[in-house]
Amino acid sequence: NAGVTQTPKFQVLKTGQSMTLQCAQDMNHNSMYWYRQDPGMGLRLIYYSASEGTTDKGEVPNGYNVSRLNKREFSLRLESAAPSQTSVYFCASSAARIFEQFFGPGTRLTVL
């Protein structure tokens, strides 16, 4: 079992460029989440998906889009990256919405 995997691990973008962060889980979980982590601010929810085919906004969705491709995969897209999106991005999954979450290793994104 790989658990939750994320690609890439590191990425540097220029302002205005686009990219997609990939996330996959092999635990047959229904719920998946995208968080960003900034110093002193903990984990802030960007988007989540309670089940395949559904997505909902979290606390900080502006500037991001998501796709729940299937039960395993949940991707996060930055259409036009901005320096304010420099952060560490974590994907997580859980069996249900308010249960234990399993996190991926994270993607460290820098936008210049």
The residues of the shown chain that bind another protein, judged by CB under 8 A, are 35, 40-45, 48, 50, 56, 58-59, 90, 92, 97-106
Nearer to another protein, 78 or 104 (CB): 104
Nearer to another protein, 9 or 14 (CB): 9
In angstroms, give the least distance from the CB of 80 to another protein. 26
Is the bond into 8 cis (omega within 30 degrees of 0)?
yes
Distance CA 66, CA 81 (A): 15
The pair of structure tokens assigned to 17 is 């460029």
Nearer to another protein, 17 or 51 (CB): 51
In angstroms, give the least distance from the CB of 13 to another protein. 21
Q: Cβ distance 81 to 18 under 8 Å?
A: yes
Distance CA 99, CA 41 (A): 22
Nearer to another protein, 56 or 79 (CB): 56
In angstroms, give the least distance from the CB of 68 to another protein. 14
Number of C-beta neighbours around residue 17 at 10 A? 14
